[in-house]
Amino acid sequence: MSTQIADSRSFRADPFSHAYSLVTGRGLGRFISELPKIERFEEQFKTKSDRELRKYSLGLRHRAKSGESLARLLPEAFALVREAGRRTIRMRHYDVQLIGGMIMFNGAIAEMETGEGKTLTATLPMYLYALPGNGAHLATVNDYLAKRDAEIMAPLYEMLGMSIGVVESQMQSDVRRKAYACDITYGTSKEFGFDFLRDRLLIRQIREQGLGVLGALMSKDEEQNEQPVQRGAFFCLVDEADSVLIDDARTPLIISSIPGEAEQRAVACYRWAAEKSAEFVEDEHYEYDHDRKSVELTIEGRLLVRRITKPPELDPVGLVDLYDYIERAIKVGRDFHFNQHYVINDGEIVIVDESTGRLAEGRKWSGGIHQAIEAKEQIEVTVATGQAARITVQDMFIRYRNLGGMTGTASTSTAEFKKIYKLNVIRCPTNRKVQRQIWSDRVYGTEDAKWDAIIQEVREIHEAGRPILIGTRTIEKSEHLSKLLEAEGIEHEVLNARHVAIEAEIVSRAGGAGKVTVATNMAGRGTDIKLTQEIKDLGGLHVICTELHDSARIDRQLVGRCGRQGDPGSVRQFMSLDDDCLRIGYGPDRAEKLANIGEKASGELNHYASLFRKAQRKIERKHFGDRKVLLYHEKMRKKMHREMGQDPYLDSPD
């Protein structure tokens, strides 16, 4: 095939390959020195029966509870887990997985290449930290992954006498309490955070009612649901740490208070603003700040607000508040788009996580944005109530006495992990040499020209029988590409936030002969794409990136879908001069100039590729700055509350 022959001569080295040798791996010496000790204990354990292994595990638990250092117990504990894995789930930890486990145990983030077995690696630090009996939590991105990983690893834990629980959405309090009472608990950061807030509210209520210990003793069995469900914040291992600790860092978890009398009036304001916002013209009635993405009415705009007819319900509402409602409605119309930032499921607005392409069930935008979108889409407007309790994802994880993480993409955010969470990032060597080829970037003048080139590459590689995975930024673009593929007669599957229930199934099939899969960002992350020997001989999975994301980490997640565990694979990045990355990174003026150049040009414009990487780095720096500002304000808010004798999680900042 001509395209592949040409590319085989021009592909560049994979900048994401970390195929370090065990001996020369940077910063790994102290971990490598533990491997012979683990192997010696493993040889001893191979001769023991299952019952003897469990008894030995109970002995380790007694030693941990008696105060013996967990670091001293590490070689025995890791050897036990390795042997239990071999016997129960037919998986024996590789040496590199033992190193990954030691990195996590030592309060750092292990950067492990995609496909290196993070789910199995997690059992090592989870077991070791569970020994003292204080509970060990594993936080991941959704209920499906939490339940799946817990079920797969349960036989291993149970063989060693460890109980395992899973916390899921819609779970009753008594079931949650049992899950948290287990030695090891899997769940999502969202559920861990909300349970912390609910417990805190409950404890305050008990104190205010004067129940205390006496009330607990007097309560009946059926009233046990009115007790806290969590124990403490001893150890948490964060799966997909970059997604949870960085992409979701600014997400506040909020429990709302009971709505007040102004509910109907607020709903009427949102609906009125959504209906009238189209009458306001940029630069005449309002000014739009492209950097801050903020809207401010001009004098003409405020006069228009006064003139526009209003329903009687709005009579008590002040003009300043009406200005805010209109500005919010204009912002929502400009910046929040259906099928990109949100979808509508069963009459509800559901946020699409821009980092993963998954639906962020249960999350809402703050500051009235969510209600403004509901009014815009003409569905029921939910009440923007006050806050009974709140905590950010960032603040929640800082509470843990011991914290570790794992992900395939952390090195580009090393400074942020160190600054905010006091976590180092250590790259873990791969078990086999990475064979992924990064083909040269392709830049085109317009989006249409880019799509034509993508379809051409898909057609050529598809004819050779190789599987193809295509990543898009939004649901809208994934469905647009799907229509283009249909027009070409190319069979394919689409994986986006609309198909979250079957995402693992779709991803697992993506490595079949001639399969073409279109995915938003990296929906389906956490599921292996397995290849047959026939596919490996053809060159493995080919990944097409259709646009740069706001963060290089997200691009790396997509790149990491091929070349797993030493498999062959290839990647191509496509870009066009009218991509959102340039507009967000450089602002509208320069982006418009570049787009005009693209309109007049023809063919490839590959010499512009470096502009896209620079724009991406500018966006990353801005987002990092925003998260640092959030951390500062959260610290100041908590300090102010404590000085006033208030609870920083329960008392409103007002």
CA distance 584 to 109: 30
Residue 324 is assigned to a ligand binding site: no
Determine, yes or no, domain membership for 539.
yes
| One domain, residues 512 and 368 | no
Q: Give the chain's domain count.
A: 3
Residue 97 is assigned to a ligand binding site: yes
Instruction: Decide: 122 and 146 in contact? Cβ < 8 Å.
Output: no
Asked whether residue 301 carries a pLDDT value surpassing 90, the answer given is: yes
Residue of 489 and 652 predicted with greater confidence:
489
pLDDT score recorded for residue 114:
78
DSSP characters over 386-422: PEEEEEEHHHHHHT-SEEEEEES--GGGHHHHHHHH-
| One domain, residues 318 and 294 | yes
Question: What are 131's two structure tokens?
Answer: 């020994």
252-256/387-392 β-pairing: antiparallel
Residue 127 is classified by DSSP as H
Instruction: Decide: 516 and 485 in contact? Cβ < 8 Å.
Output: yes
Confidence class of residue 225 from pLDDT cuts 50, 70 and 90? low
Asked whether residue 653 carries a pLDDT value surpassing 60, the answer given is: no
Instruction: Identify the residue whose tokens are 């919010």.
Output: 328
The answer to which of 54-63, 119-128, 394-403 has the lowest mean pLDDT is 394-403
Determine, yes or no, domain membership for 338.
yes
Question: What are 211's two structure tokens?
Answer: 């129940």
| One domain, residues 415 and 461 | no
| One domain, residues 174 and 117 | yes
Helix 70-88 with 143-159: angle, nearest 10 deg: 100
Helix residue ranges per DSSP H, 209-318: 212-218, 241-242, 263-276, 299-307
| One domain, residues 195 and 92 | yes
Phi, psi of 482, deg, nearest 5: -60, -40
Determine, yes or no, domain membership for 281.
yes
The answer to which of 348-362, 439-453, 510-524 has the lowest mean pLDDT is 348-362
Helix 369-376 with 263-276: angle, nearest 10 deg: 60
Question: What are 482's two structure tokens?
Answer: 């799907």
Q: Is 201 exposed, middle or buried (0-12, 13-18, 19+ CB in 10 A)?
A: middle
- What is the side-by-side strand order in the sheet with 402-407? 164-166, 184-188, 136-140, 235-239, 402-407, 108-111, 424-427
| One domain, residues 491 and 576 | yes
Asked whether residue 462 carries a pLDDT value surpassing 90, the answer given is: yes
Determine, yes or no, domain membership for 644.
no
pLDDT score recorded for residue 123:
98
- Report CA-CA distances (Å) from 616 to 81, 412, 418, 580, 629: 42, 12, 21, 10, 20
The answer to which of 3-12, 126-135, 320-329, 438-447 has the lowest mean pLDDT is 3-12
Domain ranges, residue 345: 261-377
pLDDT score recorded for residue 406:
94
Determine, yes or no, domain membership for 12.
no
Per-residue pLDDT of 130-160, as tens digits, reads 999 999 999 998 888 899 999 999 999 999 9
CATH number at residue 284: 3.90.1440.10
Ramachandran category for residue 565: left, alpha or beta (phi over 0 → left; psi -120 to 50 → alpha):
left
The answer to which of 229-233, 270-274, 316-320, 567-571 has the lowest mean pLDDT is 316-320
Per-residue pLDDT of 348-388, as tens digits, reads 888 887 656 667 766 778 778 999 999 999 998 887 555 67
Per-residue pLDDT of 334-348, as tens digits, reads 999 887 788 888 788
Determine, yes or no, domain membership for 218.
no
- Provide the 10 A C-beta neighbour count for residue 21: 9
Helix residue ranges per DSSP H, 210-260: 212-218, 241-242
| One domain, residues 497 and 396 | no
| One domain, residues 164 and 238 | yes
Instruction: Decide: 632 and 249 in contact? Cβ < 8 Å.
Output: no
Exposed e or buried b per residue across 408-426, where buried means at least 16 C-beta atoms within 10 angstroms of its C-beta: bbbbbbbebbeebbebebb
Question: Is the alpha carbon torsion for 503, 507, 513, 514 positive or negative?
Answer: positive
Which of 61, 86, 87, 83 has the alpha carbon at shortest distance from 73?
61
Residue 645 is assigned to a ligand binding site: no
- Provide the 10 A C-beta neighbour count for residue 532: 12
pLDDT score recorded for residue 608:
95
Domain end: 400, 427, 454, which one?
Answer: 427
| One domain, residues 310 and 341 | yes
SS3 content of the chain, % helix, strand, coil (to 5): 50, 15, 35
Residue 37 is assigned to a ligand binding site: no
Residue 118 is assigned to a ligand binding site: yes
286-289/294-297 β-pairing: antiparallel
CA distance 140 to 240: 7
Q: Calculate ∠ Cα 590-595-600, nearest 5°.
A: 130
Instruction: Decide: 360 and 497 in contact? Cβ < 8 Å.
Output: no
CA distance 184 to 71: 19
Instruction: Identify the residue whose tokens are 């970390």.
Output: 18
Asked whether residue 398 carries a pLDDT value surpassing 80, the answer given is: yes
CA distance 636 to 633: 5
Mean residue pLDDT across the chain: 86
Q: 461 CB contacts (<8 Å, ≥6 apart)?
A: 1, 3, 4, 468, 542
Which of 247, 605, 600, 597 has the alpha carbon at shortest distance from 453?
605
CATH number at residue 251: 3.40.50.300
| One domain, residues 266 and 252 | no
| One domain, residues 588 and 538 | yes
| One domain, residues 144 and 188 | yes
pLDDT score recorded for residue 408:
84
Question: What are 208's two structure tokens?
Answer: 């205010």
Per-residue pLDDT of 580-628, as tens digits, reads 899 999 989 999 999 999 999 888 999 999 999 999 999 988 888 887 8
Q: What is the mean pLDDT of residues 97-123?
A: 93
